[in-house]
Structures are given as structure tokens and as C-alpha cells.
Structure 1
Amino acid sequence: MLVLKCCQSRVLVRRMITAQLCWKKMHHVLFCALVLLVCLTVFSERRTKFAEKDGDGEDVKYVAENPYIGERNEQIDTVRYPKLNDIEDEKGEQEDVDVVYTWVNGSDPAFIKDFQMMMKMQNKAKPEVLALNRYNDWGTLKYSMRSVEKNAPWIRHIYLLTNGQVPDWLDLNSPRISIVTHADIFTNKSDLPAFTSPAIESHIHRIQGLSNRFLYMNDDIILPTKVYMSDFYTERDGYKLRFIEERLEHCNKVCASNSVNNGICEANCTSPSCEFDGDDCKGIANIPLYMGSDKEFMYDSWGGSLRHTHFLLNKMFGPKDRYIPEHAAHMFDKDVLSKLVESFPDEWNRTSSTKIRHHLTIQPEFAYYNYLKELEELRTNNVRTTTIWTHKNAEKIDFSMDNRGVIGRKLQFKWCKREILLKRPKFLVFSDHFTRPVYSNEKEEIQEALTKFLRSLFPVPSQFEKKQTL
């Protein structure tokens, strides 16, 4: 018994000694790894400095010594990016690119009166007055233009497309901005006044003097960091198409969107939301109708217009998966857009004449982006495209204007500023998601907080503003 205990003690001592040695070895390994990490860091910093001396040494020195450049992000932009005006095409000439904004002052009493009269003529129910929330003017246009001037100075000219309204802060004498009214571009004046963006966007390529390639932006889009022509188009990669990772899967619970206008009549698709299977069941008698409910698919007019556009593309090019464009700045080609409009003349005319959102209208961005992809597959006019998943590439921050309270809004501003510093996105987008009327006092409070936030991002007035505007 004594011998057994002695043996156990020896084994225990040996294990303790072995564990202690292993622990010491682990310390040595961790110490060596730490030393190696420090060496690599020093080497990387020195290598960067040598590279900067060989390349952009003068710019780095200027940033370091210039006492007037105090913001860290300005230093990063100066060092990291080339001068925008030096971006040239293969011919050695810089391409002219303009920006088109669509804007309406939904807070204007005259506009509200016209809108309510139109809604009454359309026999819309009283809750539809919530549609006015889509036209709220939160004052973002001024700061969007500041962001364009600062972060996209390669833009040649800005066209502001309105129903005749003009922002009171806008300097109409500025040589780089022009006011264009809906009446200037609508071919059928009886379609006016226009209250929906698809109706207006269907004529946007008719702006006189507009560059062949142009950026289309809503007033709720801000460029928080530097952007370049190459972010939207290059000769090698073609057009950069930004999509959300969502495709049109179904038009009712059992019918796939790719089954409409595919040449096969299917009873599962004979519902209003699937447009009764498009042209597939025409001329066929006694087709049983879909017996399920498609109310949830018919309720959203925007989603319905996406499906309607998808069905039209199915009819012309055949069924395939198509994704939804991101709400961001989009680059359009006037010639391509003109051909797209000519390919569906009746549908575009219907879209132009529609006063309010409707599911049987064309969604222009969705149609244009997917039309470009079809031209690329057909190898037409050397069209090339590159697909970018915006959120996967951290290119966009969504700022939702919604029902949250004062404290929630303050936290939202802090979160947004932090995300801009960390992600350095190309787009900051303000979207209106109020599910109730916004009262005047509440709107003033939100407006004041939002203006303060945007002014902190872009404190310097642009050349498009009247003097002494904040």
C-alpha cells in the first residue's frame, strides 16, 4: 500500500513538472509571436513611408505641414485619392457628366392643396393622405449638393427637375445649375401635373443640354465620402449596377414570377397580381382561375410595378431572375434609355399619365438596370456591366425617418456618424417611413435636429447657394 502511494506521488510530481514546462514553453511562444507582430508592424509602416516618398510624397508633406487642414478625414482623402479633375478617358479627354435631381417641396400649401384635390378626383380613401409623407421636404437637397461639390467635383453641371418650385436658398445665377420644369420635358402636357417619380423619370432623358452619361439622384441622397466616375462606369468594367440582394420570386403564393409570359398557360398564375399569366393564356378558353388570395401581393403599388416591369422583360427577353436596384445614385445613358422607352411605347405612355402610384406602371430604375444586363448578354453596342451588392460592400447607410421619439432620433444620429467614420460609405440615404401623419411641431423638431446633423457633415456652403446660407 505504501509503495502504491509513493508511485502515485511520483506520477503526480512528474505531471506537475511537465505542466510547468509546457506553460513556460507557451509563454516563450506567445512572446516570440508578439515580437514578430511588432516587427511586421514597423516594417509595414516604413514600407508605406517609402512608397509615399516615391509616389505622392509632396501631397503627404503638404497635408502634414498645412495648418489649415485639421480634419483627419480630409487628410485621408488627400493622400488616398487622386485629383478628380485628372480622371480622363482613353482619348485623353475628360468626359462631361451631369447630375439630375428630382425635387418637390411637399410642405408647400399650394402643392398640398393640388395633391388633395387629385386624391379626391381619384376617389381615394381618407387614409391615403398618408401618401403625403412621401413628399415631405426635410431640407436634404442643400446638403446633397454640398456633398456633390465636395466629394464629386468632376460633375460638370446640375439640373434640378421640379414642378416649377424653386428652393429659396438656391442661387439661380450660379453657372453650374439649371432649373428644369416638368413641362419642359413631358411630351404630352395633359399628363401634368405629375405626382409620381416613375412618370417624371420616364422623360428625364429629354432634358436639353444634358450630358450623354449622367447621374440621377433624389434629394435624399448624400455623398459622405469621395466618389469617382470609375465608381459608376469604366471602359473595362462597363456600368456599375448596384442591387439589393432581393429578387422577384413570386407574384402570388404559388406562382413564380418567371412563370408569367413564359409561353405556358398555368392556372396557378391566373390571378390579378400575376396579371392572369400575362399573354400565356390568351386565346385559351375555360382556364380555371387561381382560387387563393393575392391581397398581400396587390397591396404594395411599388412592388406591383416591379413585377409588372419584370413581366414585360420576360415577354421581350424570356424569363430569368432579376434583382431590385438599390436606392442610390444611378448612372444613365441617354441613348440606352431612349431605346428602352421606344421598346415599350404604350407602357411608358401609361406610366407618364398615371397620377398616383399604380401596380400597372413601369419602374424605371428596375427596367433600365435589367435592360442593360440584357443588352450585355446580347452583345449589343458593346454594353458591359458589373454587379455590385451595395450592402455586402458596405457602400450605403440607410437613415430611416420614422415614428421613433426624440431620444431614439439622437441615438440614430450618433450611430449614423459612427458608421460613416468606420465604413466610409459612398451613399447616405434618408428615407421616409412614417406610418402616421407628421404634425407641424414634430416636423420642426425633426427638421432642426436633421439640419444640425447635416451641417456637422458639410459646414461649408456650396457655390449653388445664396450668400450667408447655413
Structure 2
Amino acid sequence: MKSPTGMRMRLALTHHRNLRYALLAACSALFLVLYLLTKTPVPYTYDKLTDEENKRYNSQATMNQWPGQCQIKNFEQIRRMSIVYTWVNGSQPCYRQIREKAGGKKAVGGSRDREIGELMYSIRSLEKNMPWHTGQIFLVTAGHIPHWLDMNNPRIKVINQDDLFPDYAKKFLPTFNTHVIEQFLYLIPGLSDIFMQVNDDYMFLKPIAPHEFFTCDGAIRLLHEKGLISHIPPPPKKGIWISSVLNTQQEMDLRWGKTDRYFIKHAPFVYSRRAFERVHQIFDRPLYMTLKSRFRAKPDMNMPLLHHYYMVSQGGEELGIPIYTPPAEELTGYKLILMQNNNIDKLKKIFGQILDGSTPYKVVALNDEYTDMRVADTAIEFLQKYLPEPSSFERKPGSGTVRAYYTQAWLVRSGSDDFAADSRESGCCTNVPSDCVPRAALGGIYKFAITWHGARPRRHYHVPLLFACTAPLQGAHTLERCV
């Protein structure tokens, strides 16, 4: 016969065991709920406005800024969005040599990489005609800093494009393929979720209201052309750009089925950083294959297309970001200007209309496809006349020289105590082609002994660059400021 004490002990043990099971089940359920919450996309509500911000963006002054236009929801958040410029100084000898080494004789660069100062004038036009924007400006470069840029301006930051590449992609460096570089813009540290990409050849000609890019309820306006993209695979004779678009269309058809999709307008793109993350998850294989092309190639994926039609097909609902695709007939304020050898007279006419205020366009893109430098001279003359006033992002006269000379250079490994200098004043070799090598081939941090113009003593600067000189060299050689 079982004793009462033994039965009580067994009941207590059973109760204790059941209690543990119940606690374990409750903890498991809690962890499952937390996991699902972290994996479920959170609707994008910008940030909650403070009372002061609510008062400011609802103020009469803001309403009067754009007569006849509605109040844009969460305008204070929109005006603080990041703007990303991509730029390369293709006129730099060392950069050209690295490019030619990577691609052989076919990697000539052409006018696409020729530096005639469009970036400086583009930023002037941005500041002049979009004064409502108060957010950060990021300049993504191949290791160059424009000689005119004021690096002390807190609103602008230069990013070395190589630093954006994840570990799995670094083996494909150096790259000169904009389709590849654009893939990783969303990894810029400090980038806002909603951001705008602007090419260095875009010029804002007239005051641009935020309504150009957002609707009254804060939806992103996806700007497109009238033309539909074909669903037929690209014929062999098609060019690189259109082949890339058609190949991207093939991938989208596999994912979302065949439906009408339009060519994207040659205009500033408004992106979502979180949409880039999802596009990488959905199209991981074709995007990875694009990494293998150091220069633009026909099989490349077109990131603007992937982003925009992801947002149309599922991203808007998935991420909680409203979108709007306006009729192409409404989008008449944008113009792609082809600067070619045989259209100098036409260019002068277009530039003349802009100068006298008779142009109907708000934003133009100066697409350079010339070899005749008279075309460049025509464009430079126009830009100097149209945008003569410097922006707040330019160095003030007399604030110091930009070029410098160095006496020798050598390799310094990461972790050294010798590279604590200001990276904004770094240099990269340009006139010693035999000693310019890809950064990816050497690794590490590079250090230069630099003698600046004037009485400034020689100092050492570390140079995290795409390329650098590694052998000790004698004499004075020109340096450019670099990231």
C-alpha cells in the first residue's frame, strides 16, 4: 500500500514537471512572437513628428511656398532624406591606367568619364532650386575628392565606393560598372530609408517642389517614359544599355509574370533602402552574376528597374511605403540632352533657351557622347554663364591649395600608429603609371610623405584608395585629393 507521503511527493513532482513544461511552452511562444515581429516588415511611417515639427510643416509659411499645391504628409521627414551623387574623375591618369589594365584596349572610358565639372554645377543647381532639402548629401566616388569641395561642410560626406562592397563582393574589385556600384548604395552608413540618387550630369533649371517626387499623402512618384519595355530577349546586335534593360525584364517576368512595364525616366530616382535589401534577396543570383562584369555588359541587371517594379509588384504593400505611378503625359519637365559631335548647333540653341528662360524643362541630363572637345567647351561655357554663383559646398578662395607634391611613398599595414592624419587630405598618385596598382591586389593602408605648397611642413597621410604608389620614388609628382 502506497504511503500518503509518497503520493504527495509524486503529485508534487508531477505538478512541478507540468509547471516547467508550461513555462517552457510560454517562453517558446514568446520567442516565436518576437521572431515573427522582427521578420515582418514594419510599415514605414517616417518618424513620429514632434509638436514643433507638426506646427512647422503645417504653418502658413510652408503652404505659401508652393501656391496651389497640397501639404505633403510628413514633409519634415521628406526634406531630410539623403541625396546620393555618384561621380568619377575619369581625367585622372592613374585612374585611366587602372581602367585600361582591368579591361584592356576596350576600356577607353570615353566622354562618360571625362571631367568637365558637371558635378559642381549640378550641386549649385540643387542648392539653388531645391532649398527645401536639408538632409545629408553623400558623394560616392572611386577614391577621388573634387578639388573644389569644402570637406568641412557637415552636410556633405565623401564615400569610397569600394568600402560599400560586402565581403562576398570584394573579390570583384576594382570595378568600373555603374550597374554594380548602384547595387550597394543602400549600404552607405547613415543613409535615410527614403533617399534620392542624382547623377552628376543632372541640372535643376527651375525651382523644384517636393511634389515632383512625392504625392500629397507622401507616396513616392515613380517617374517613367511612355515607351513599354519589350518582353523579347535582346537580339545579339542590341547595345549594352538596352540589352541590360531587356535582360532585367526577363528576370522580372520570371518573378512577377509578363505585364506592362515602362522605361524609367532619365531623372532623379527616389529609392527605399529597405527595398534594396529585398531586391537583393529576391534577385540574388542575377545580381551576383552582374558583379563579374568590371564594365557595363549586356547581361547586367538594371537596379533602378528592379527597385521600381519591385515597389509596384509587392514592395509598396510589403514595406508599407505608398507609391504612385503618374501618367507619362504629366512628366514633361525632364529632358535628356545628348551631347554629340554632330549637334553643336542644336546644343547652343537648347542652352540659349535655358539662359533666356524660355525652356519648358525643369531638369535636364547632359548625356556626353562626344569625342570632339568643342562640345565640352560649349557645355562648360553654358554652365559658367547659367550657374556662376558658388554653392555652400565649395571651398572658399584662399582656404588652401588643392594640389600637393610628394617625395616618396611606401606601404603601411593596417594597425600602424602612423596613419592618424586627416583622411580628407589624403592623396593618390597620378603621374607614376608603373607604380599604380589595384588596391584589391595589395590590401592594407597606404601612406604618403607629402610636401604641401607654401610653408606647411611635410606630413604623412593615410590613403585608403582604389590604387596607390608603393615603390619609393624621387622627385616631385602631382597629387590629387582623395578619399
Provide the TM-score with structure 1 as the length reference.
0.65
SS of 2:326 mapped into structure 1:
strand
Match of 1:116 among 95, 100, 107: 100
1:449 corresponds to 2:373? no
Hey, what's the Cα distance between the residues in 1 that align with 2:102 and 2:396?
37
Change (3 A) 1:327 1:405: closer
**Aligned match of 1:178:** 157
Verify the 8 A CA contact 1:375 1:383 in the aligned structure 2.
no
The residue matched to 1:388 in structure 2 has which SS?
coil
- Distance change >3 Å, CA 459–CA 79, structure 1 → 2: farther
Is the 8 Å Cα contact of residues 87 and 200 (structure 2) preserved in structure 1? yes
Please tell me whether residue 411 in structure 1 is matched to residue 395 in structure 2: no
The Cα shift of 1:422 comes to 4.1
- Structure 2 unaligned regions, length at least 5: 1-59, 399-483
Structure index of larger Rg? 1
Post-superposition shift, 1:180? 0.2
CA change 1:189–1:217 in 2 (3 A) is same
The answer to whether the 8 Å contact 2:71/2:216 transfers is: no
Contact 2:72–2:215 (Cα < 8 Å) also in 1: no
Match for residue 465 of structure 1 among 387, 394, 397:
394
Does residue 132 in structure 1 map to residue 148 in structure 2? no
Shift of 1:221: 0.5
AA matched with 1:395: G
* Length-normalised TM-score, structure 2: 0.63
Kept in 1, the 8 Å contact 2:197–2:271? The answer is yes
- Give yes or no for contact 1:89–1:95 (8 Å, CA) kept in 2: no
Distance 1:135 1:405 in 2: 20
Question: Which of 215, 228, 236 is equivalent to 1:247?
Answer: 228
% identical equivalent positions: 25
**Aligned partners of 1:164 and 1:410: how far apart in 2?**
34
| Partner of residue 384 from structure 1, selected from 322, 325, 350 | 322
Query: What is the letter of the counterpart of residue 130 of structure 2?
Result: A
Looking at structure 1, the residues matched to 329 and 310 of structure 2 have their Cα atoms a distance apart, in angstroms, of: 22
The one of 351, 358, 364 aligned to 1:421:
358
CA distance in 2, matches of 1:343, 1:231: 29
Q: Which residue of 1 aligns with 2:86?
A: 102
Q: Distance in 1 between matches of 2:345 and 2:75?
A: 54
Where 2:358 maps in the other structure, the secondary structure is helix
Give distance in 2, aligned partners of 1:447 and 1:132: 12
Paired residues of 2:240 and 2:298 also in contact (CA < 8 A): yes
Q: Which runs of 5+ in 1 are unaligned?
A: 1-57, 60-77, 121-125, 253-272, 274-293
From the superposition, tell whether residues 91 and 228 of structure 1 become closer, same or farther in structure 2 (CA, over 3 Å).
Answer: closer
The one-letter code sitting in structure 1 at the alignment partner of 2:145 is V
Q: Give per-residue Cα distances to partners, 1:359-415, cap 9 Å, x unaligned.
A: 222100111111111026x84334432223557532112222101265554334224
Q: Which residue of 1 aligns with 2:217?
A: 236
CA distance in structure 1 between the partners assigned to 2:334 and 2:75 by the alignment: 32
| Separation in 1, partners of 2:140, 2:344 | 33
What is the aligned residue count? 335
Q: Is the 8 A contact 2:341 2:375 kept in 1?
A: no
> Is the contact between residue 221 and residue 324 of structure 2 (CA under 8 Å) also seen in structure 1?
yes
Answer 1 or 2: which has greater strand percent: 2
Letter in 1 for 2:114: N
Q: Alpha carbon RMSD of aligned pairs, Å? A: 3.0
Displacement, 1:165?
0.9
Distance 1:408 1:248, change over 3 A: closer
Quickly say closer, same or farther: Cα 1:392–1:208, change in 2 above 3 A.
same
* Alignment match, 2:204: 223
Distance 1:390 1:450, change over 3 A: farther
State the partner residue of 1:397.
335
Match of 1:204 among 174, 179, 185: 185
User: Which residue number in structure 1 is paired with residue 308 of structure 2?
Assistant: 369
- Post-superposition CA distance 1:159-188 (Å, at most 9, x none): 000010111111111111000011220112
**2:302 counterpart letter in structure 1:** Q
CA distance in 1, matches of 2:76, 2:110: 48
What pairs with 1:19-418 in structure 2 (closer than 5 Å)?
81=66, 89-90=73-74, 96-120=80-104, 128-129=106-107, 131-153=109-131, 154-187=133-166, 188-234=169-215, 236=217, 238-251=219-232, 273=234, 294-296=235-237, 299-375=238-314, 379-388=317-326, 393-404=331-342, 407-417=345-355
Change (3 A) 1:93 1:200: closer
